[in-house]
Amino acid sequence: MLFTIIAAKQDGTRAKFEYDNETNTLRAENGTVFEYPGADQRVEDRPEAVPFSIDAPLSKSRHVRLLKIQLGLSCNYSCEYCSQRFVERPPETSRKDIEAFMRRLDALEFDEAAGLKIEFWGGEPLVYIKTLRPLVEAINERFREWKTKPRYSIITNGSLMTEEIASWLIGNCFAVAISHDGPGQHVRGPDPLEVPETREAILGLYRALRPLGRISFNAMLNRANTSRKAIHEFFVKFTGDPNVILGEGSVVDAYDEGGYGSSLDTKAEHFAFRREAFNDIYSTGGDIGFPGVIEKIDSFTRSVLSHREARFLGQKCGMDDPHVLAIDLRGNVLTCQNVSAVETAPNGTSHCAGNIADMDQVRVHSAAHWRNRPNCSGCPVLQLCKGSCMFLEGDYWNASCANSYSDNIVLFALSFERMTGFIPTYIGAPTLPPERRDIWGNLLQHEETPRRRTIPIKAV
């Protein structure tokens, strides 16, 4: 779709541009196209994305490059915006299931040359430490002949971290992410950094893994925690490391009423967030500790200058990649690691897509590609957002979409300024509501509309 973009410099100079999100082409009013020299000679190194839906389900390959093993959904926290809080729990697995699980893995194919990454997920994965340890031992044995070993990673809330567990993670070459929202931790839950023994164990783990580039603190933004700069300052103070690495850094998706309530609510909140988020990055030159966020800006800039077309665009989470697989210890193939095999998706289908014992029959009916969403094709931040969560629907989808727009229009604006020298202020498109056309909220009058609250009725 073609968008007209009005932009300005700090001195008040204004200019008009056109941006096509399908061809990813940015053009000045005088006809100049912003591109790399020879961009029209490029050759895409990725397959064209195949739109999927409940009626045209996504299939998976037995050739796996990223394996997400879901240990279970139990957790010792109850975070306000947790994506799993109301997911139906299947019967728990244990270390007794490992032998059968390892046999099931024989149905999959792994290639040392292509590489293999294995992520271990909960719930809180350290709740399952008695299963995790022998499982890792079994996987180590399975790949003992590989010279380039599989890469392990884990995301933990850190509350169960001890020096002994930290040593085990280091010894098994894990990459570790600690989920913590810095100054906004009160929204997530208790603060493990306030417990002296846990604090020291986390700091010890950080000091060991930071030189290897294998640890981060993963923080999410929400309506009570909107500043990446403030989060960065928190962790610089905690670690003493001015180059501390922070992961995530996006505004939360609304998976339930907690996430809905933590979402940006009023139009005034969205505009205030956009201005703050832009200034946090612009004023610091991007030195805010979130390399993934800065890489999104860089990646979008590269994609525009090389005209990466939308037909090659996959989903944000990467779970539409046939070589990325989320499974539980029973071998059930899941939509993603945040659901369970007994959970029903918002579209009424099961989140269980089959079992690795019969990969030819695995089909993901629970999700929809962005091409099959009503508004994604008409959105200027499509190439940054990449369709948000691929299985949300209804009010939770609408709130997540609004969060993602405000988050990504900031990155769009930062990239746009880098390419043109102008900061976009207004996007002309009949598909966009006024609060999305007026980027910073100072060009149009915006009447507030109270957001309807939904109450979850499922008891688990």
Alpha-carbon gap, residue 209 to 203, rounded angstroms? 10
Strand 332-334 relative to strand 324-328: parallel, antiparallel, unpaired?
antiparallel
Alpha-carbon gap, residue 92 to 258, rounded angstroms? 25
For 284, what's the count of Cα atoms within 13 Å in the CB-facing half-sphere? 18
Q: Which two tokens stand for residue 297?
A: 């800006």
53: three-class secondary structure by DSSP? coil
Complete edge-to-edge strand list for the sheet that includes strand 2-8: 25-28, 14-20, 2-8, 423-428
Helix or strand holding residue 141 (H, E): helix 129-142
In contact, 355 and 331? CB cutoff 8 Å: yes
Per-residue confidence in pLDDT tens, the chain, 460 aa = 999 999 999 899 999 999 999 999 999 999 999 999 875 545 556 788 989 999 999 999 999 999 999 999 998 888 878 877 778 888 899 999 999 999 999 999 999 999 999 999 999 999 999 999 999 999 999 999 999 999 999 999 999 999 999 999 999 999 999 999 999 999 888 999 999 999 999 999 999 999 999 999 999 999 999 999 999 999 999 999 999 999 999 999 999 898 999 999 999 999 999 999 999 999 999 999 999 999 999 999 999 999 999 999 999 999 999 999 999 999 999 999 999 999 999 999 999 999 999 999 999 999 999 999 989 999 999 999 999 999 999 999 999 999 999 999 999 999 999 999 999 999 999 889 999 999 999 999 999 986 655 544 443 4
End-to-end Cα distance, the chain: 43
Q: Omega before 123 cis (within 30°)? A: yes
Q: Rounded to two decimals, what is the model's pTM?
A: 0.94
Alpha-carbon gap, residue 313 to 371, rounded angstroms? 10
Domains (ranges, CATH) in the chain? 2-50+370-437 (no CATH), 58-291 (3.20.20.70)
Burial class of residue 288, CB neighbours in 10 A (0-12, 13-18, 19+) = buried
How many whole angstroms from its chain centre is CA 358? 29
Alpha-carbon gap, residue 361 to 364, rounded angstroms? 10
